[in-house]
Amino acid sequence: MTLLKSVKTHHFTLLAAMPLHYTQTPVTELQNLAIQKAGIRLLIKREDLNHPFVSGNKWWKLKYNLEAAQQQGHQTLLTFGGAYSNHIYATAAAAHELGLKSIGIIRGEETIPLNPTLAFAKDQGMELRYLSRTAYRSKHESEFINQLKDRYGDFYLIPEGGTNQLAIKGVAELARQLQTEVEFDYLCAAVGTGGTVAGLAEGLDKSKEIIGFPVLKNALFLEAEIRKYTTKQNWKLNYDYHFGGYAKTSPELMTFLQAFENEHGILLDPVYTARLMYGVFDWIERQGFPPSTTILVLHTGGLQGRAGFHIT
């Protein structure tokens, strides 16, 4: 597969990157008695449907990184993540679609058989390398990166979770698109590294407020991370719905997930979107949103994570 197409201009030849496939997604209204009693309108943007494997916010965070990798002539993507990382899953799939090689540096020891996330990444052609948790902490250090270059040669580096300036650019583009599609007052999203909230803040005008729901326990550090990428003040974080920490669950959360899916016919994942929707509905019942306002929830995909919890 040819990755770059020549585009002739009057003075020179540009290299145009092949774009990652994208499917337009709907905005769906959610209705039940609690929503009606609160006197609000609740919408969900179905970005889980934008790509079969590179879904939700991952598509937007990778968009301009993939473009840059191709335009710079790289044939290999290298990135980092945990054993159940949505980012690892999405990067492997994106590289496969575009005919690029991919390398995943995985936190922790290899476990055989591979879990569904890593098995998929390997099937997509990703080379997996495992690091101890101690060694993994060096992933930002230049000496460690140089060691990776000595071993693997030239590659395009995407950070853990995919958050960098190009990711912010992609998510900001999504935010601007949302404003043209639907009227809303609040935009709610799950928070992992903070990059999605930062990008949404950059793309939305000041009349919209973003509410992020961190999935990590003790996540106050995320505010500083978000401020690395935006100076806007149109966002805040609600720390009350982490359910004990990243990827931890409870009978209450899993019962909510099943009830939501039965009522609305929309699948959620236990790590991100189930916590997000639980938090949004809890706020609705607590009258946390002013009456006569419209709340838009961003479904950030990641449904591959269901397999790790044995949810079909």
Do residues 65 and 51 share a domain?
Answer: no
User: 9 lies in a domain?
Assistant: no
Give the global pTM. Answer: 0.92
Closest C-alpha to 265, from 26, 90, 51: 26
pLDDT score of 131: 95
pLDDT score of 247: 84
Beta strands (DSSP E) in the chain are 4-8, 13-17, 27-30, 41-45, 76-81, 101-107, 126-131, 156-158, 186-191, 209-214, 235-237, 294-298
Q: What's the chain's average pLDDT? A: 93
**Percentage of the chain surpassing pLDDT 70?**
95
pLDDT in tens, 46-68: 999 999 999 999 999 999 999 99
pLDDT score of 212: 98
pLDDT score of 147: 94
Q: Using the 8-state DSSP alphabet, how is residue 60 labeled?
A: H
**Domains contained in the chain, number:** 2
**Cα separations (Å) of 107 from 34, 128, 281?**
42, 10, 34
Domain that holds residue 99: 57-162
pLDDT in tens, 96-138: 999 999 999 999 999 999 999 999 999 999 999 999 999 999 9
The CA R_g of the chain, rounded to the nearest whole Å, is 20
User: 17 lies in a domain?
Assistant: no
| CATH code for position 141 | 3.40.50.1100
CA atoms within 13 A on the CB side of 223: 10
Do residues 71 and 200 share a domain?
Answer: no
